[in-house]
Amino acid sequence: MSSSYEVDVCIVGAGPAGMMLGGLLARQGIRTLVLERHRNFDREFRGEVLMPQFTQMCRQIGIFDFIEKYPHLKFRNLEIVFHKSHVSRISLEEIAPEAPFALWMPQPVLLGALLDKSKEFPNFQLWFNTSAHELVRSGGQVTGVRALKDGQSVEIKAKIVVGADGRASTVRREDGFEIECEEYSFDVMWFSIPRPQNYEPTVRAFLSAGRNYLILPKYPELLQVGLLVPKGELHEYKQKGIESLRAELLADDAVLHDFARQLHDFSSFNVLQARTSFVKRWAQNGCLLVGDSAHTCSPAGAIGVSIAVGTAIVAADVLHRAIKQGNTSQEFLDQVQELRGAYVKKIQRIQNRISGNFLAESTWQGKVFPILFFLLSKTPLLKKLQRELVVLKSPLPVPPEIRF
C-alpha cells in the first residue's frame, strides 16, 4: 500500500540545478520537496569546474560567500599546450575581471553546501534513496509523482513537477518531451591521477596532431584527465587492448606516465558521451524541465554546471510566480525557456564548432585546427571567444527578491 504526500513543487533530481532551485523556492515560502535516487551525495562526478559565470550568478542571488567557505581550489589561468612544450596562458583576470577565477569544488561538497543553506528554510525537504518512476496526471495536467522511497511506494501530489534528473531524465521520458536537436561526435575518457608536488592548479588543454586531452585540478590532491575520443573509437581501443592506450599515454605528457605504467585494463576510465541536446519545449501543464534534462552541454569550456544552474535560478522566479498566481499552465511555465533558450543555444553552437574541429581527424581540421587554435590563443580573438563562454554579460533576468 502506498502512502501520499503533498507539496507545492516536487523536484526530481538533487544535482546542482535541482538543489539550487529547491533552496530558492523554499526561501520564497514555497513548499518544496527534492527527490534523489542515491543514498547520499558521495559518488563520482565529472562536472566540478565552476567558471566565472557561476560566481557571478551566486553573487547575484546572495549565496557565493556561503559556498566559498566550503573546501575548494581556485585557479586564475587557463593554459593551452601544443606538442607538449609550447604553452599559451590565458588569464581569467583579463577575460573575466568581474570574477577573475574559476573554482574547482567537488560536486558532493557543492551539493552539501546547497543542502546546508536550504535546511535553513522550513519549507524545504530532501528525500534520499527515492526514485521517481511515474508521473501522475489529471485532466491533461501533471499533478504529481509516484516514487519508491526506501523501497516503499509513495505518491507525491504537487502543483508543479520539475525534472532536474539529468541527461537520462525519467520526467522527460515519462511526459513525452521531444528532443529538438542533438549533437554527438565524441566521448571523453575520464580518469584521475595524483597531483604532482608543486603542480599549479589550472585547466590545461593539450593539443597535438594525434590525441587532444584535458587536465584539470581535482580537490584536494588529484588531477582529472579527459582523453577526447571520436565517437566509436572507444570500441576500437578495447579491441586493440590496453597496451595500445598505454603506449599512447606514455608518448604524451610526463604527468601521465606513472598512471600509464600501472594500467592493466579499462576499469580506471569513466566514459562520458559528450552530447549536446536541446528539448523542443521545456514545459507542459504542471511540469517543467531544467538543467541537463532540458539542455546538455559538451565539456568544451567546462561550463555545463553553470548553464544548468542559471536555468534553475531563472526557473525559481517563474515557478514562484506560478504558484502564487495559481497558474501552472504550459504557457506560463514557457517563460523559463523564453528567458534562457536563446542563450543556451548560443553556447551550444560555440561548443559544437570547437569540438567538431578538434575531432575531425580524417580531414584537414583534425591536423591543422590544433595549430590554428594555438596561434589564435595568442591573440585577443580567443579571449573574446572564451569570454562568450564563461562570463555573463548581464545579470540573470530575475527580480532582487529571488535570492538567499
pLDDT (0 to 100) of residue 299 = 79
Asked if the structure places residue 45 within a domain, the reply is: yes
Any idea which of 194-208, 277-291, 389-403 has the lowest mean pLDDT?
194-208
The answer to whether residues 285 and 140 touch, using CB atoms and an 8 Å cutoff, is: yes
- Which range in 150-154, 264-268, 370-374 is most confidently predicted, on average pLDDT? 150-154
> Beta strand pairing status for 73-75 and 102-104?
antiparallel
More confident residue, 373 or 28: 28
Dmax (CA) of the chain: 66
Any idea which of 60-74, 107-121, 206-220, 221-235 has the lowest mean pLDDT?
206-220
The answer to whether residues 35 and 154 touch, using CB atoms and an 8 Å cutoff, is: no
CB atoms within 10 A of CB 70: 15
Cα–Cα dist 165/66, whole Å: 25
pLDDT (0 to 100) of residue 295 = 96
Cα–Cα dist 282/172, whole Å: 9
Q: Which residues touch 156 (CB under 8 Å, ≥6 apart)?
A: 4, 5, 6, 7, 10, 33, 35, 144, 145, 146, 147
User: Residue 397 to residues 33, 53, 56, 63: CA-CA distances in angstroms?
Assistant: 25, 14, 13, 17
Query: What cell was used for 313?
Result: 535560478
Rounded-to-10 torsion of CA 164, 166, 171, 173 = 160
Asked if the structure places residue 400 within a domain, the reply is: no
**What are the pLDDT digits (tens) for 183-209?**
887 888 888 899 888 888 788 888 765
Query: What cell was used for 301?
Result: 569550456
Query: What cell was used for 326?
Result: 495559481
Task: Specify the amino acid at residue 398.
Answer: V
pLDDT band at 85 (very low <50, low <70, confident <90, very high): low
CATH code of 104's domain: 3.50.50.60
Q: What 3-state class would DSSP assign to 23?
A: helix
In this predicted structure, the answer to whether residue 236 has a pLDDT above a threshold of 60 is yes
The structural domain count of the chain equals 1
Domain boundaries, position 63: 3-181+274-390
Asked if the structure places residue 130 within a domain, the reply is: yes
pLDDT (0 to 100) of residue 199 = 82
Q: Which runs of E-coded beta strand occur in 13-151?
A: 32-35, 49-50, 73-75, 77-82, 86-91, 102-104, 124-127, 130-138, 141-149
Query: What cell was used for 202?
Result: 589550472
Cα–Cα dist 336/327, whole Å: 14
Mean pLDDT of 225-235: 82
How far is C-alpha 119 from the geometric centre of its chain's CA atoms?
A: 23
pLDDT (0 to 100) of residue 18 = 98
pLDDT band at 363 (very low <50, low <70, confident <90, very high): very low
pLDDT band at 369 (very low <50, low <70, confident <90, very high): low
Mean pLDDT of 143-152: 96
The answer to whether residues 161 and 142 touch, using CB atoms and an 8 Å cutoff, is: yes
Asked if the structure places residue 264 within a domain, the reply is: no
In this predicted structure, the answer to whether residue 46 has a pLDDT above a threshold of 80 is no
Asked if the structure places residue 43 within a domain, the reply is: yes
pLDDT (0 to 100) of residue 380 = 73
Asked if the structure places residue 16 within a domain, the reply is: yes
pLDDT (0 to 100) of residue 280 = 97
Percent of the chain with pLDDT over 70: 91
Helix or strand holding residue 321 (H, E): helix 304-325
Average model confidence (pLDDT) across the chain = 89
Radius of gyration over alpha carbons of the chain, in Å? Answer: 22
Mean pLDDT of 109-130: 97
The answer to whether residues 117 and 23 touch, using CB atoms and an 8 Å cutoff, is: yes
Q: Which residues touch 308 (CB under 8 Å, ≥6 apart)?
A: 15, 16, 17, 290, 291, 292
In this predicted structure, the answer to whether residue 365 has a pLDDT above a threshold of 60 is no
What is the number of H-type helices and E-type strands within the chain? 14, 19
How many residues in the chain?
Answer: 404
Q: What 3-state class would DSSP assign to 136?
A: strand
Asked if the structure places residue 95 within a domain, the reply is: yes
Cis omega (within 30 of 0) for bond into 217: no
Q: What 3-state class would DSSP assign to 87?
A: strand
- Which range in 142-146, 190-194, 199-203, 349-353 is most confidently predicted, on average pLDDT? 142-146
Mean pLDDT of 342-361: 77
Report field, pTM of the whole predicted structure over 0.85: yes
- Which range in 69-78, 195-204, 257-266, 391-400 is most confidently predicted, on average pLDDT? 391-400
